[in-house]
């Protein structure tokens, strides 16, 4: 067993012990550890805090929700292992990170320029495609509770960046595990480097990678703008999250407590999705105001060139994410008036 796995297994055993002694002392609150990799001051960070506030209130002392931001407990890959082993109970990984769990269809959300608007996205996540994806997690010992938004990604680099040709030959950090993101970077004739989120700042600073992609909120709160000279408002892809829990833990909770947490999750979801756009707008304004990254708005011709370079990824990745899911996204977009 790897050291990381061993230490997660050890914490899981400890956690199981705590659950047992918790059951013996009925008045002890049930502890929900919610681990995530971003800063508290982001849409996901704020959503997690809102869930803590509402969950503890509705469960009236029966639950204690501990939020661990910024990869404090685990990095991306480890947190999924930790959830399955029961060392933590709740996570909200980006939809790009479910491939290694064996549910590669989540990567439909990574397809470049697939979602013409937030309304299309919401219709997809709340419709059959979104629900079906969450159901697929159950065989992995996981229950999917909700989808949370972050926002649209922009590319950044240490070399001037306007059109898709400018990234040629560069090493670009992507989220670990997503084959769609790898294909997207290759479509730009660049080199994809999967890497944990917590390692990105240093990798950019030391030149291990030349650039990356993320919504402004993640870029600003991780200070990536301090180590990236250029960014282009490509808005080429989406980062959103699935809030997930350990199935055994969730189903083992007293029904009234679970109902309280479900209510809290429904309200925290509305809250997180409401703050996401403004958070990203504010972060972009702050990046521009810092004067550290030159933020470029591509012209219409350049935007067409980005699309032309990246859209072939849809066909290329059809076998991975499923033709049906891609067609469903296109159908929803068409029904909502997008061509
Ligand atoms: C990333 O790794 O870039 C993002 O998935 C981080 C996050 O959770 O938003």
Closest residue by Cα to atom 5, ligand 1, is 94
Structure tokens at 159: 């070399």
Q: Is the pTM of this model over 0.85?
A: yes
Q: Where are the domains of the chain?
A: 2-149+240-277, 154-237+281-335
Q: With contact defined as beta carbons under 8 Å apart, do 179 and 105 qualify?
A: no
For residue 216, the model assigns a pLDDT of: 98
For residue 8, the model assigns a pLDDT of: 59
Phi then psi dihedrals of residue 136, to 5 deg: -65, -20
For residue 47, the model assigns a pLDDT of: 98
How far is the centre of ligand 1, averaged over its atoms, from the C-alpha of 97 (Å)?
9
pLDDT tens-digit map of 1-49:
344 555 555 555 555 544 555 455 557 999 999 999 999 999 999 999 9
For residue 17, the model assigns a pLDDT of: 47
**218 CB under 6 A from ligand 1?**
yes
Closest residue by Cα to atom 2, ligand 1, is 197
Q: How many CB atoms lie within 10 A of CB 136?
A: 17
Nearest Cα to Cα of residue 42 among 201, 150, 160: 150
Q: Is the dihedral of CA 326, 327, 332, 335 positive or negative?
A: positive
Q: With contact defined as beta carbons under 8 Å apart, do 160 and 167 qualify?
A: no
Nearest Cα to Cα of residue 233 among 214, 209, 218: 214
How far is the centre of ligand 1, averaged over its atoms, from the C-alpha of 335 (Å)?
30
Nearest Cα to Cα of residue 172 among 132, 131, 125, 230: 230
Nearest Cα to Cα of residue 200 among 28, 35, 23, 70: 70
Residue 100: band (very low, low, confident or very high) from pLDDT cuts 50, 70, 90: confident
For residue 69, the model assigns a pLDDT of: 98
Residue 246: band (very low, low, confident or very high) from pLDDT cuts 50, 70, 90: very high
How far is the centre of ligand 1, averaged over its atoms, from the C-alpha of 96 (Å)?
9
How far is the centre of ligand 1, averaged over its atoms, from the C-alpha of 192 (Å)?
15
pLDDT at residue 118 tops 70: yes
Q: Do domains 2-149+240-277 and 154-237+281-335 have the same CATH topology?
A: yes
Average of pLDDT values for 101-113? Answer: 95
The CATH class that applies to domain 2-149+240-277 reads alpha beta
pLDDT tens-digit map of 170-186:
999 999 999 999 999 99
The CATH class that applies to domain 154-237+281-335 reads alpha beta
pLDDT tens-digit map of 284-337:
999 999 999 999 999 999 999 999 999 999 999 999 999 998 999 999 999 998
């Amino acid at each position: 067993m790897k050291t990381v796995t061993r230490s997660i297994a050890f914490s899981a055993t400890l956690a199981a012990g705590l659950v047992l002694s918790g059951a013996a002392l009925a008045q002890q609150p049930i502890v929900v550890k919610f681990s995530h990799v971003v800063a508290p001051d982001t849409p996901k960070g704020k959503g997690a805090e809102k869930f803590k506030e509402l969950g503890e209130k509705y469960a009236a002392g029966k639950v204690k929700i501990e939020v661990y931001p910024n990869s404090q407990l685990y990095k991306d890959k480890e947190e999924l292992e930790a959830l399955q082993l029961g060392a933590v109970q709740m996570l909200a990984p980006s939809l790009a990170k479910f491939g290694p769990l064996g549910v590669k269809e989540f990567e439909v959300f990574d397809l470049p320029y697939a979602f013409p608007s937030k309304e299309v996205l919401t219709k997809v996540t709340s419709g059959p495609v979104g629900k079906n994806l969450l159901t697929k997690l159950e065989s992995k010992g996981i229950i999917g509770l909700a989808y949370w938004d972050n926002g649209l990604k922009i590319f950044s680099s240490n070399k001037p960046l306007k059109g898709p040709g400018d990234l040629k030959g560069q090493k670009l950090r992507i989220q670990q595990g997503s084959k769609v993101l790898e294909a997207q970077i290759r479509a730009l004739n660049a080199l994809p480097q999967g890497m944990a989120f917590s390692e990105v700042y240093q990798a950019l600073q030391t030149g291990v990678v030349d650039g990356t992609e993320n919504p402004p909120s993640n870029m600003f709160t991780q200070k990536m703008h301090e180590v990236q000279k250029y960014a282009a408002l490509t808005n080429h892809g989406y980062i959103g999250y699935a809030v997930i829990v350990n199935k055994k833990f969730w189903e083992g909770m007293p029904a009234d407590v679970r109902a309280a947490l479900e209510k809290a999750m429904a309200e925290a979801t509305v809250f997180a999705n409401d703050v996401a756009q403004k958070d990203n707008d504010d972060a972009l304004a702050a990046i521009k105001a810092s004067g550290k990254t030159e933020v470029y708005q591509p012209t219409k011709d350049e935007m067409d060139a980005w699309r032309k370079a990246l859209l072939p990824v849809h066909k290329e990745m059809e076998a991975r994410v499923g033709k049906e899911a891609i067609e469903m996204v296109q159908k929803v977009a068409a029904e909502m008036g997008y061509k």
